[in-house]
Amino acid sequence: MLRVRSTTYHFRRIVPPTLRAALNRREIWVSLKTGYQNEARKKASVLHARTTALFMQAHSVLAEPDALSRLEGLRVSLRDLQSVNLPSSAQETGARPVSAPIPKPRTVKKTAKAPKAAPLMLSGALKRFVLDSPHASTDTKKATQRAVDLFLQAFGDAPVSIIGGEKAGAFRDLLFSLPASLGKRKSSLTLEEEAQRAREEGRPTLSGKSVKNHMMRLSALWNQLHQRELVTRNPWTGWNFENGQKTIRRSWTAKELALLASASWHSTSVPEETFRLVTLIAAYSGMRLGEICTLRKKRPPDC
């Protein structure tokens, strides 16, 4: 079972009641030394398998005649399981040499400690500063939700205070390896499996523009966190999004323009005159189709 203390995940497992006296423990608590949920789950699964094996050995040892000597070995194994992350048993219990006099315990009034504030997780920051914000547009909420969902799928939820340049760079590299068709169809594959499949099959991957859009959404969220001093820096800025050769654009030749102007128009929904006018405006000004469609006739104010 995973628990979060400060910004670090811990593994906690209850010792079965029948083994508590033999193992001299009621529970096992090990620091996983990570703030990322996916990494913590992997480490916790390994610890769960190891503790399960220890419990099974303890059950079998209890039925043997030399149980006491073998149980001591299991207790040592259990301490070794935690020795990397926890203080030694002498530090835990405050054990003293036998010859040293044991002082009488003194009653000391403990001052009530203020409860530690729970770390702000990425999912909580998304909800608080974007999804629940009355000032964020629908498009902003949708795009930011998409970018955060991709990060959570890749690395799991984590406190925003520990997400730095290393994870931002890993996320950028992962985005560049994902197929361009991601999200357009249902898939049960993980993002790593999607990237592996795209490499093996030679599929086109996300463009630099798409990767930049995802990173910019996270950067905008981090700007708000930085203003509130919830993070020390914004790791989502300053990245390069060029992933290959630039598209070389050239001018139309006279022959191509003549062919375009003389081509027949078969659409019934848009008049040919409108099509030719839109084409000429685009060729002359370089405006996009959406910009051309918003043009309206208006008399200049000085005429």
- Residue 275 falls inside a structural domain: yes
Residues 176, 134 share a domain: yes
Residues 221, 144 share a domain: yes
- Residue 108 falls inside a structural domain: no
Strand partners, 30: 11
Question: Tens digits of per-residue pLDDT, 112-141?
Answer: 666 667 889 999 999 999 999 999 999 999
Residues 128, 186 share a domain: yes
| Measured torsion, CA atoms of residues 12, 16, 17, 23, in degrees rounded to the nearest 10 | -80
Cα torsion angle, 185, 186, 191, 196, sign:
negative
Q: Which residues of 258-285 are buried (b: 16+ CB within 10 A; e: fewer)?
A: eeeeeeeeeeeeeeeeeeeebbeeeeee
- Residue 51 falls inside a structural domain: yes
Question: Tens digits of per-residue pLDDT, 137-194?
Answer: 999 999 999 999 999 999 999 999 999 999 999 999 999 999 988 877 777 888 888 9
Residues 157, 79 share a domain: no
Residues 149, 68 share a domain: no
Average pLDDT over residues 265-269: 82
Q: Could you give the number of structural domains in the chain? A: 3
Tokens standing for residue 296: 């309206």
Residues 210, 127 share a domain: yes
Residues 259, 221 share a domain: no
Residues 267, 170 share a domain: no
CB within 8 Å of 15: residues ≥ 6 apart: 23, 25, 26, 27, 28, 55
DSSP SS3 for 48:
helix
Residues 274, 201 share a domain: no
- Residue 161 falls inside a structural domain: yes
Tokens standing for residue 123: 């999912």
Cβ(158)–Cβ(35) below 8 Å = yes
Q: Which of the listed residues 89, 109, 143 is the one where a domain comes to its end? A: 89
Q: How confident is the model at residue 66 (pLDDT cuts 50, 70, 90)?
A: low
**Whole domain around residue 215: which residue ranges?**
122-227
Q: Which of the listed residues 67, 89, 111 is the one where a domain comes to its end? A: 89
Residues 127, 223 share a domain: yes
